[in-house]
């Protein structure tokens, strides 16, 4: 039986410039235009880039040692130019600390390769952003 690879979310307006995204499993995530504490769509994109790689890196390194500290930050400048609004280059900063000892040493040694694998192959989100990916809109 073929695995369904389609991913989708639906967006519903909950107030003026406030929305909630719902996934196929029933999970919800509020967001907005930046007038309140909710994430903006651009912040969600940055969180998705960092979050996707965080999962990859965590799975690949925590098999060897449980991290003492694990932080990933994604940042980019918002650009408004002849191409319209978009982000400039996105930088993901990886900061992971493993415990002292043989297991921690092994995890530290694996970290750069895990980051590279996520960036170059595994992270669907950053790969989609990095590759030319068409986005189409339909109004039924």
Q: pLDDT for 42-58, tens place per residue?
A: 999 999 999 999 999 99
Check pLDDT > 60 for residue 1: no
Q: What mean pLDDT comes out for the span 13-36?
A: 95
| CA separation for the pair 124, 48 (Å, rounded) | 10
Q: pLDDT for 107-135, tens place per residue?
A: 999 999 999 999 999 999 999 999 989 99
**Rounded mean pLDDT of the chain?**
95
Percent helix, strand, coil in the chain, to 5, is 35, 30, 35
Q: How many helices (H) and strands (E) does the chain have?
A: 3, 7
* Model confidence, pTM: 0.90
Check pLDDT > 60 for residue 2: no
Q: Which of 70, 64, 52, 68 is nearest to 7 (CA)?
A: 52
């Amino acid at each position: 039986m073929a695995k369904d690879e389609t991913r989708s979310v639906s967006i519903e307006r909950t107030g003026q410039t406030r929305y909630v995204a719902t996934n196929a499993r029933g999970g919800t995530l509020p967001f907005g235009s930046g007038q309140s504490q909710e994430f903006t769509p651009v912040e969600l994109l940055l969180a998705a880039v960092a979050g996707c790689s965080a999962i990859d890196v965590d799975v690949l390194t925590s098999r060897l040692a449980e991290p003492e500290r694990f932080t990933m930050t994604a940042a980019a400048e918002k650009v408004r130019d002849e191409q319209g609004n978009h982000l400039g280059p996105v930088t993901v900063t990886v900061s992971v600390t493993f415990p002292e000892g043989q297991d921690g040493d092994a995890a530290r040694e694996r970290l750069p390769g895990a980051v590279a694998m996520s960036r170059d192959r595994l992270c669907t989100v950053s790969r989609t952003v990095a590759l030319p990916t068409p986005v189409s809109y339909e109004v039924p």
